Every structure is written in C-alpha cells, then in structure tokens.
Amino acid sequence: MSWKRNDSKDSQATKTPGSMTPSHSDSLPPRPVNVATKPINLGKSIKISGDLSGNEDLVIDGQVEGRIDLKNHTLTIGINAKIKADVVAKVVIVAGELKGNITAQDRVEISSKGTMYGDINSPRVALADGATFKGSVDMEVSSSSSSRTEASSFQPAVDSGSSEGTEQRPN
C-alpha cells in the first residue's frame, strides 16, 4: 500500500474576502489586559501611614497619612476617603476629605461632596457647587517662573507732570 499526497486545490478551502473564517493558526493571540488603564483601588478599610508613590492611576477610599506622589497619573480621593497628605499628581479629583497641599500638572477638581483644606498649585482648578475649600490657589504654570521675575521688576510709568501719588520701585 502506498501513500500519495493530494496536492490538488480541491482539498484546500477557497478563501474569499466575504467568507474568510480564520483557522486557529491564522487567528491572533488574545490581547493581554492592560492593567495601567484600570485604576488601582484602595478600599474603605485600608489605612496607610507614610509615603505612597506609583506609576498608575489610583482611587483611594480609605485613609492615608503622609505623602502621595503619582506624577503623570490621576489620583481620585473617593467619597469615603480621609487623607492627610501632600499630593503630587497629574490630575487630582477630590470627592472625599483632603488635608494637605496639592501640586497637579494638569488639573484639580473638587466635587460637590469634596472637602479640601490646603493650597492648590495647578494650571486648572474646578470647584463644584457645594464643594468645601479653605486655602490658596496658584494657577501660574511652573514654566513661567521667569515671567514671575520680570513681573516683580515691573516699574509703573511716572507722569512727568506730577510725581504726587506715584512711587518708583528700585531695580
């Protein structure tokens, strides 16, 4: 008994664009789940004392005391959270309570149930109706520190007809 390989085109499925069904070898492997797109959640029962840093978005519903550093990422302070920390992040959303200063590269949002006691340094700040805030806000972009120097050396024009009521600052 001999075996003959059948190389005829009839044995292979004719593939047309409308009726193509990929075989197992043609299909792509399943995509890995991208963990960075889903924020990490610290629940109500979590208590952290010390520095907290990371390279992912974070949602906190528990308690943190110390410092939170999430440069280039979003920090969401949940409605149940009680935070006593200085915060550095790209975006900070406050729905709970925060006692500390915020430095955000992009924006800070305080929701209607949010409470914040401290200073905000961010180019964009949004306070919802009903939000509680006590502190100061600096919306000057950090790259404009040179313009801050120029502004401090500004001298108002002096009216040549009268020097009364005008003051000239020394350089």
Residue 117 phi, psi dihedral angles, 5° rounding:
-120, 105
User: pLDDT tens digit string along 63-118?
Assistant: 999 999 999 999 999 999 999 999 999 999 999 999 999 999 999 999 999 999 99
Rounded to whole angstroms, the Cα distance separating 103 from 110 reads 14
137-138 vs 120-121, strand pairing mode: parallel
Q: Is the alpha carbon torsion for 89, 46, 130, 101 positive or negative? A: negative
Question: For residues 57 and 17, which has the higher predicted lDDT (pLDDT)?
Answer: 57
- The confidence score (pLDDT) of residue 143 equals 54
Q: State yes or no: pLDDT of 123 exceeds 90.
A: yes
- Reported as a pLDDT band with limits 50, 70 and 90, residue 140 is confident
Rounded to whole angstroms, the Cα distance separating 9 from 14 reads 8
Q: State yes or no: pLDDT of 6 exceeds 50.
A: yes
Contact assessment for residue 110 and residue 133, using Cβ atoms and an 8 Å cutoff = yes
The first and second tokens of residue 125, run together, are: 């700040």
Give residue limits of the domains in the chain.
Answer: 38-128
User: pLDDT tens digit string along 13-46?
Assistant: 444 444 444 444 455 555 554 444 688 888 899 9
The first and second tokens of residue 132, run together, are: 């509680």
The first and second tokens of residue 141, run together, are: 């972009």
- The confidence score (pLDDT) of residue 142 equals 58
